[in-house]
């Protein structure tokens, strides 16, 4: 039996998210460039929380990731306001990896079932997948822009240092 497109899209997007995360040097994952509200680490934590919160309770189940994640990474938060230590980068990545099979296993055969709590106008689990796939794509795009902004700033600072050294 072929895997539903929603699961395939989820797996493909998560692979892209993890590839970006794994290619980001640790020294940049907590930088919030000018013009941005959040860092790469925050975006990854937010993706993790959004899927956890957006799937398991809709199936009538509890959260699978630690509760404190749900207070550090919801919409509207930012690292500059954290009062608790965030999870390590490697812990977030490990949970993002394991979340894939956990969500697919919990959702298999249930995509067209009504969800426990309607969300916006979404009434079926398939709709939650479509919503969260779109959200993960949005946050992946944000992380690409954050990484690019950091790289541009670093390159400009290096050029400035070389120009100063030559004067």
- Return d(Cα 117, Cα 124) in angstroms, integer: 9
Q: Which CATH superfamily is domain 5-166 in?
A: dinb family like domain (1.20.120.450)
- Return d(Cα 59, Cα 90) in angstroms, integer: 28
The H or E element containing residue 10 is: helix 5-22
pLDDT tens for each residue of 75-121:
999 999 999 999 999 999 999 999 999 999 999 999 999 999 889 99
Determine the Cα angle at 157 with ends 88 and 41, to 5°.
15
Q: Tell me the average pLDDT of the chain.
A: 94
Q: How many alpha carbons lie under 13 Å from residue 97 in its C-beta half-sphere?
A: 10
**What value does the mean pLDDT take over residues 24-32?**
96
- Return d(Cα 114, Cα 125) in angstroms, integer: 7
| Token pair 């630690």: residue | 66
pTM of the model: 0.93
């Amino acid at each position: 039996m072929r895997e539903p497109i929603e699961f395939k899209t989820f797996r493909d997007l998560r692979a892209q998210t993890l590839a970006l995360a794994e290619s980001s040097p640790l020294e940049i994952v907590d930088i919030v460039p000018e013009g941005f509200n959040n860092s790469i680490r925050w975006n990854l934590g937010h993706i993790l929380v959004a899927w956890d919160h957006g799937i398991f309770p809709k199936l009538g189940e509890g959260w699978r990731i630690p509760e404190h994640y749900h207070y550090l990474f919801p919409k509207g938060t930012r690292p500059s306001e954290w009062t608790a230590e965030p999870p390590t980068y490697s812990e977030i990545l490990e949970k993002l990896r394991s979340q894939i099979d956990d969500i697919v296993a919990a959702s298999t055969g249930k995509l067209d079932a009504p969800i426990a709590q309607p969300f916006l106008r979404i009434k079926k689990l398939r709709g939650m997948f479509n919503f969260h796939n779109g959200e993960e794509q949005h946050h992946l795009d944000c992380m690409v822009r954050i990484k690019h902004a950091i790289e541009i700033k670093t390159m400009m600072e290096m050029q400035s240092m070389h120009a100063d050294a030559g004067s």
